[in-house]
Amino acid sequence: MPAGTFTPPTLPGATTPPTPIPNLPAFCRVQITSSPTSDSSIGIEVWMPENWNGKYLQSGNGGFAGTVPYTSLATAIQRGYAAAGTDDGHADPVGTDASWALGHPQKIIDYGYRALKETTDKAKSVIEAFAGNAPQFSYFAGCSDGGREALMESQRYPNDFDGIVVGDPANNTIPLLTQFIWDMQALLASDASYIPPAKLPAITNAALAACDAADGVEDGVIGKPRQCHFNPSELLCTAGDNDSCLTEPQLAALLKIYHGPHNSEGQLINPGFLPGAEAYAGGWPVWITGPGPNADTIVQAAQYQFGLNFFRYFVFNDPNWDLQSFNFDTDVDKALAAPIAGQPLADVMQSVDPDLSAFRAHGGKLIQYHGTTDAAIPPGDSVEYYRSVLSFFRIYNRKNTVDEVGDFYRLFLVPGMQHCAGGPGANSFGQPFTAPLADSAHDVIKALEAWVEQGKAPDQITATKYTNDDPKQPALFSRPLCLYPALARWNGTGDASDAANWSCR
């Protein structure tokens, strides 16, 4: 392909044309269809840039996949990598449809993990045939479902990659999608339960008033979300219903979303969402409430679509299944055990195994991050997985677990970042779906390279908030992303917009 602009192919059923991708180097584009079973048709693309850096970067997908992640491949070859990605074995122009899974267990397995391995093996073979030698280093980077895939690589295929970047992962897939059903049931419990988007600013403003200053600066970002003691009951309407308050049914729905799904015995199924994420454009109106103004539009919410379609087509095999029928006492276990070509669905989809000993023995390094205002996947999911790895290694060898795990796996929370990118906080640090940045201090993929190739483990990464979230425009402020469980706090002197005047504590 000549240097310049590449236009991705238009998928059948697409309602909008694909966006052209500019400023690409000349590259060789290899298209592969892999059929490891008679019902498999895995689309794979391998891109080799003209000036190859000798390394390989595989990109994860998002949602229910259905298309090759062309934008991520483009960013990878702009960095100099040989790049590859997959549609995970089916076509879906919107990424929320799961009807392809009905009656096709092998396609579910392709989506769950097999397409990842097919892509890795075939891409490395193509690269070696093209260049005459294998990649010197191999990396994987993904966010959302791509984060689930990234952790799947570390657990199921620990020898395939030297370094992995995991963003906002959907790795606890079945409890997470259960949470989506929980949130929808909360908002649809009665005609009065729905929270219209017009009320979301009042919720966010109240959360900011309670918690914004905890990091030393009032900047519209809750820098210490785990220490946020916001009482939503203060928003209860006392003098009639208006956009500055919540009715009792709306307050009950909000509290259920914050608390997360539970069964009838009070056992938590998945962590709830943190306050402060409600009003932003890519937050609750996209994921939870829909665009409003009333409950009829909730069917447009991403949680509604993902939750409904997953349980219809992956679990119950019933296109008419109604999310209001979900039983939180029994249906989670049914979903985990749902048979997929002789395997439980949990084994196909979940990437929650804390045993990373084989990945560590391979010499692999893993950086994980999660935005605290993510309205798609609670940051508590990443924290719980990290803690499970600590617990595993504490039992495994009883050494200084935090230091030992930190030798190969590090977690960073990103205050004020939404799902994978965007949000009011410093949200640009070279992560998947965003532009590369200058150096390993500011770019998470370059930080991973420095760790793998030079042994320089990242203690913090500087993230930047740009005007309109565009790195080509002026920077508004920067913040250090801290090694979990530390969080950034302003030192009390110096320009608060400069990360140099903040410390991880």
295 and 147 in a single domain? The answer is no
Task: Tell me, yes or no, if 41 is annotated catalytic.
Answer: no
317 and 187 in a single domain? The answer is yes
What pLDDT was estimated at residue 397? 64
- The torsion angles phi and psi of 490, rounded to 5 degrees, stand at -65, 140
Give dist(CA 285, CA 298) in Å, integer.
9
Whether the Cβ atoms of residue 47 and residue 77 lie closer than 8 Å to each other = yes
Whether the Cβ atoms of residue 376 and residue 419 lie closer than 8 Å to each other = yes
183 and 329 in a single domain? The answer is yes
The length of the chain in residues reads: 505
Helices within 354-473 (DSSP H only):
357-362, 379-397, 401-406, 444-454
How many other C-beta atoms can be found within 10 angstroms of the C-beta atom of residue 240? Answer: 7
Task: Tell me, yes or no, if 229 is annotated catalytic.
Answer: no
How many other C-beta atoms can be found within 10 angstroms of the C-beta atom of residue 322? Answer: 10
Q: Provide the pairing of β-strand 82-86 with 163-167.
A: unpaired
Q: What is the DSSP letter of 494?
A: S
Identify whether 5 is part of a domain: yes
Give dist(CA 295, CA 250) in Å, integer.
12
20 and 121 in a single domain? The answer is yes
What pLDDT was estimated at residue 93? 84
Question: Of these residues, 90, 104, 370, 419, which one is catalytic?
Answer: 419
Give, in order, the Cα–Cα distances in Å from 283 to each of 286, 378, 417. Answer: 6, 12, 10
Whether the Cβ atoms of residue 11 and residue 91 lie closer than 8 Å to each other = yes
Nearest 5 degrees, angle CA 243-CA 248-CA 251? Answer: 70
Identify whether 121 is part of a domain: yes
What pLDDT was estimated at residue 402? 77
Closest among 135, 195, 188, 185 to 163, alpha carbons compared: 135
Closest among 176, 106, 38 to 340, alpha carbons compared: 106
Q: pLDDT tens digits for the chain (505 residues)?
A: 999 999 999 888 888 899 999 999 999 999 999 999 999 999 999 999 999 999 999 999 999 999 999 999 999 999 999 999 999 999 998 899 999 999 999 999 999 999 999 999 999 999 999 999 999 999 999 999 999 999 999 999 999 999 999 999 999 999 999 999 999 999 999 999 999 999 999 999 999 999 999 999 999 999 998 888 899 999 999 989 999 999 999 999 999 999 999 999 999 999 999 999 899 888 999 999 999 999 999 999 999 999 999 999 999 999 999 999 999 999 999 999 999 999 999 999 999 999 999 999 999 999 999 999 999 999 999 999 999 999 999 876 666 677 889 999 999 999 999 999 999 999 999 999 888 898 999 999 999 999 999 999 999 999 999 999 999 999 999 999 999 999 999 999 999 999 999 999 9
Closest among 414, 309, 301, 350 to 148, alpha carbons compared: 350
How many other C-beta atoms can be found within 10 angstroms of the C-beta atom of residue 387? Answer: 14
Give dist(CA 505, CA 500) in Å, integer.
14
Task: Tell me, yes or no, if 125 is annotated catalytic.
Answer: no
How many other C-beta atoms can be found within 10 angstroms of the C-beta atom of residue 22? Answer: 9
Q: How many whole angstroms from its chain centre is CA 408?
A: 20
Identify whether 64 is part of a domain: yes
User: What is the chain's alpha carbon radius of gyration, rounded to the nearest angstrom?
Assistant: 22
Nearest 5 degrees, angle CA 272-CA 278-CA 284? Answer: 85
Give, in order, the Cα–Cα distances in Å from 308 to each of 40, 114, 181, 195, 475. Answer: 24, 24, 7, 20, 40
Identify whether 91 is part of a domain: yes
- The residue out of 135, 154, 183 marking a domain boundary is 135
What pLDDT was estimated at residue 121? 99
Question: Of these residues, 144, 193, 351, 440, which one is catalytic?
Answer: 144
Looking at the structure of the chain, the number of domains it has is 3
367 and 278 in a single domain? The answer is no
14 and 126 in a single domain? The answer is yes
Give dist(CA 143, CA 141) in Å, integer.
7
Identify whether 484 is part of a domain: yes
Whether the Cβ atoms of residue 420 and residue 368 lie closer than 8 Å to each other = no
DSSP string spanning 84-147? EEE-TTS--SSS---GGGTT-HHHHHIIIIIHHHHHHHHHHHHHHHHHSS--SEEEEEEETHHH
Whether the Cβ atoms of residue 371 and residue 417 lie closer than 8 Å to each other = yes
Give, in order, the Cα–Cα distances in Å from 485 to each of 29, 224, 265, 386. Answer: 42, 11, 30, 10
Identify whether 328 is part of a domain: yes
Q: Show the tokens assigned to 455.
A: 């042994």
473 and 448 in a single domain? The answer is yes
338 and 363 in a single domain? The answer is no
Burial class of 41 by CB neighbour count within 10 A (0 to 12, 13 to 18, 19+): middle
What pLDDT was estimated at residue 399? 61
Identify whether 324 is part of a domain: yes
332 and 480 in a single domain? The answer is no
187 and 110 in a single domain? The answer is no
Helices within 302-356 (DSSP H only):
302-310, 331-337, 345-349
229 and 324 in a single domain? The answer is yes
Q: Provide the pairing of β-strand 475-482 with 460-466.
A: antiparallel
What pLDDT was estimated at residue 418? 97
Identify whether 482 is part of a domain: yes
Question: Of these residues, 145, 374, 381, 443, which one is catalytic?
Answer: 374
Whether the Cβ atoms of residue 62 and residue 91 lie closer than 8 Å to each other = no
Q: Show the tokens assigned to 166.
A: 């995991």
Which residues pair with residue 167 across a beta bridge? 143, 369
Q: Which domain holds residue 259?
A: 175-345
Closest among 323, 333, 227 to 275, alpha carbons compared: 227
130 and 154 in a single domain? The answer is no
